[in-house]
Amino acid sequence: MNYKEIISDLEKKLFHPVYFFCGEEPFYIDMLTNVIEKSVLDETEREFNQFVFYGRDSNLATVLDAAYRFPMMANYQVIIVKEAQDLKDLLPRAKEKSKEDEKEHLLISYLNNPQKTTVLVFCYKYKTLDMRTSLAKKISKSAVLFEAKRLYDNQIPAWIENYLKDKGLIIGHKALALLTEYLGNDLSKISNELNKLMITIAPPAEITVNDIEQNIGISKDYNVFELHNALGSKDAGKAMRIINYFASNTKDNPFVLSMGALYSYFSKLLIYHTLKDKTPNSVAASLGVSPFFVKDYISAGKAYSMESLQKVMHILKEYDLKSKGVGNISMDEGALYKELILKLVYLDKVVLESEPDWQII
């Protein structure tokens, strides 16, 4: 089942005895668990019938002992195991992986005859089950198994658009790019920031860069997205104004995050130069960007040749190492920011101390 199907069943009061949520993306695991916490029992029933265990502080026998009990003055009881990846004896130990051992596993035994009045939820974060094992096969067959996969960076814009669409809101292209660059791919962080926006913006409405600046605190003029545009158009003045802002606000603009964003931007320019088909739709698909921004990459591709991009990547590597203390004794993040951008802005005048240690093919 996908998460929408699970939520649909919960809203219809169709509850299953066992739910097993796993995967690298905790956002969906937390969201589904939260829905179960609020859907199965009413407020008065929760006090005596809803229990939370934490994997590190418990074991499977204790959890299942609670699951076998009957609810008190309610139709169901809810047992939630958070951080289940740390639960002792949840998975068979390495020395106990024979078929006979797995058949005797406590959870398999429970799944063979689960307590119908218990809703048992396992929150198995940051990991997945080995589907070759008898336990995983039994969970897949006898429980609601949902794997939350982490999204790739190029899937984040569509996720944000769909998240807002479900709430009756839309977002402009520039605002979407700004959020994507600033918030990264942490869905929990993204949803928290979007929820902040929705406190003051009622549907139907379009979220703009001004809304983001006022409610989230991302400057519409001084951000990594605008820095990319300044570098792509070789606008030295604008690039230095942005980087001076970053240098004076390193807490809100960590050097390591800006480096990652710059590397991603120039990597896309490298990919652009390798494309045989440079039509807008093809470029958008290959770079994983909105067609709205293709013209910016085409313009930047004219400003940076393959050879100059090789030089850029060498400089980025150099300053990544300097930010970690390699070849750098006294420069703080502010100074590193300024020196890095000066070299990128005046790239043609920079003489590398050593030859690049990789070649563009």
In order along its 361 residues, the chain shows pLDDT tens digits of 899 999 999 999 999 999 999 999 999 999 999 999 999 999 999 999 999 999 999 999 999 999 999 999 999 999 999 999 999 888 876 544 555 445 568 999 999 999 999 999 999 999 999 888 889 999 999 999 999 999 888 788 889 999 999 989 999 888 888 888 778 788 998 999 898 888 888 888 899 888 888 888 788 888 888 899 999 998 989 999 999 998 888 888 888 888 988 999 999 999 999 999 999 889 988 988 888 888 999 999 998 999 999 999 999 999 999 998 888 777 888 889 999 998 898 887 776 665 555 444 3
C-alpha distances in Å from residue 245, one per residue of 185, 192, 261, 330: 24, 25, 17, 21
Calculate the CA 46 to chain-centre distance.
Answer: 32
**Single-letter code of the amino acid located at 281:** N
Residue type, 305: S
Q: Quote the CA–CA distance of 230 and 111 in Å, as a whole number.
A: 59
Alpha helix (H) ranges present in 84-125?
A: 99-103, 106-112
Reply yes or no: is the peptide bond before residue 17 cis, omega within 30 of 0: no
Tell me the C-alpha distance between 241 and 232, whole Å: 15
Q: 0.85 cut: is pTM over it?
A: no
Nearest Cα to 317, choosing from 275, 267, 271? Answer: 267
Q: 212: which 2 tokens? A: 């983001």
Q: Where are the beta strands (DSSP E) in the chain?
A: 18-23, 50-54, 77-82, 118-125, 144-148, 169-171, 205-207
